[in-house]
Amino acid sequence: VQVVESGGGLVQAGGSLRLSCAFSGTVASINAIGWFRQAPGAQRELVARFGRAGKIDYADSVKGRFTISRDNGKNTVYLQMNSLKPEDTAVYYCNINAVVITTSAYEADYWGQGTQVTVSS
């Protein structure tokens, strides 16, 4: 599975960006797909994701400002980020948690290379 993010950049506080995550490859099923971020010196944290049965989770810090969406026909997941704040500055990663079947079935996590989002004050 290949995962490629795009759409990061430099934006002023209050601005907007839309991130895209395009993925390809074959898996048996996808358990969850979404976005994480990692700021300098901090742990990677969940931003937003589609979980099992279509459940959507958002970090409290982004609720009401960020929206995750997907285009199944294009195998793409988006993150619309509005009202950006300097504390949103981080590398944003797309993650897919999937079931893979080879000689047996197992869960695997796939990550993109990350895209930098910088919000200036």
Over 90: is that where the pLDDT of 97 sits?
A: yes
Q: What is the mean pLDDT of the chain?
A: 95
What's the CA gap between 28 and 1, in Å, rounded?
A: 11
| CB-based contact 8:21 (threshold 8 Å) | no
Chain segment 63-74, per-residue pLDDT in tens:
999 999 999 888
Q: How confident is the model at residue 81 (pLDDT cuts 50, 70, 90)?
A: very high
The number of CA neighbours under 13 Å toward the Cβ of 81 is 33
Over 90: is that where the pLDDT of 6 sits?
A: yes
Over 90: is that where the pLDDT of 87 sits?
A: yes
What's the CA gap between 47 and 33, in Å, rounded?
A: 11
Q: Name every residue whose Cβ is closer than 8 Å to that of residue 16 and which is 6 or more positions away in sequence.
A: 80, 81, 82, 83, 84
Chain segment 18-64, per-residue pLDDT in tens:
999 999 988 899 999 999 999 999 999 999 999 988 899 999 999 99
Is the torsion defined by CA of 29, 117, 16, 36 positive or negative? Answer: positive
Alpha-helical segments (H) within the chain:
none
Mean pLDDT value of segment 87-93: 98
